[in-house]
Structure formats: C-alpha cells, structure tokens
C-alpha cells in the first residue's frame, strides 16, 4: 500500500490527527504572529482541522491536499466559507503548487507532511 491509498482510508489516525492538529495550532499561535489580514497556505490540509482553528481569525486560507477523501471532507466543511479555498495537490507534481502568486501568502504551514515527499522532486 502506498501513502496516497493509506490517506484515502478512514483510520484511527483521524481522531489522533484532530487532537494533534489542535495541539499544534494552540502552540503555534503564539509564534506565528497571525493577524486579521494574514493569508495562510496549508500544504497537506487533511480534513481541515487547521482551517477549523484559524478560519475566523485570518483573511484567507488556501488548503492543498493529495488525498481525495480528505480533500472532499475539507471542501465540504468549508463550502460556505469564502475565506477558505480547498484545492487538490497532484501527488505526482506536489512541488508545483496550484496557487496564484498574488496575493502573496503571509504564512505557509506544512504540518506532518514533509516525511511523505520523495527525496528528489520531479
């Protein structure tokens, strides 16, 4: 089984991820310096737990995800939130982010994702 297949399944890790993401957000909040006009890029958003924490405090969040299951969950969770844009991240071209260069992001968050990247980008 590869990682993309794994992340498309429901596992006990889903519950752990909700808890650990909230823990991360609470700790990171003190050092990120987020403002009302902050624009976050979240690479590997999962089901949207990070977005859930920050959505009412920042101007915009762009959430990228390779797992179709998590992509659908995150998109459904924020379908009525104009400040959240959920986009697919191509598992075969994950270094080519499908986001506009302007307006610029003020923060990029890559929470528990880098270990799944291949050593060499395509």
pLDDT at 88: 95
pLDDT at 118: 64
More confident residue, 39 or 111: 39
- The architecture of the domain spanning 1-9+39-122 is 3-Layer(aba) Sandwich (3.40)
User: Out of 8-12, 14-18, 50-54, 81-85, which region has the weakest mean confidence (pLDDT)?
Assistant: 8-12
Whether 4 has a pLDDT exceeding 70, the answer reads: no
> How confident is the model over 88-104, as a mean pLDDT?
82
Residue owning tokens 């976050």: 40
User: Out of 5-14, 17-26, 109-118, which region has the weakest mean confidence (pLDDT)?
Assistant: 5-14
The ranges assigned to domains in the chain are 1-9+39-122
Beta-sheet pairing, 39-43 with 84-88: unpaired
């Amino acid at each position: 089984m590869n990682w993309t297949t794994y992340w498309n399944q429901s596992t006990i890790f889903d519950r752990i991820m909700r808890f650990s993401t909230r823990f991360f957000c609470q700790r990171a909040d003190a050092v990120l310096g987020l403002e009302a006009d902050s624009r976050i890029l979240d690479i590997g958003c999962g089901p949207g737990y990070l977005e859930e924490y920050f959505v009412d405090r920042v101007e915009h969040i762009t959430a990228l995800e390779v797992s179709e299951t998590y992509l659908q969950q995150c998109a459904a969770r924020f379908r009525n939130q104009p400040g959240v844009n959920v986009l697919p991240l191509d598992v075969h071209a994950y270094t080519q982010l499908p986001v506009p260069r302007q307006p610029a992001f003020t923060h990029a968050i890559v929470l528990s994702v880098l270990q799944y990247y291949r050593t060499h980008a395509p």
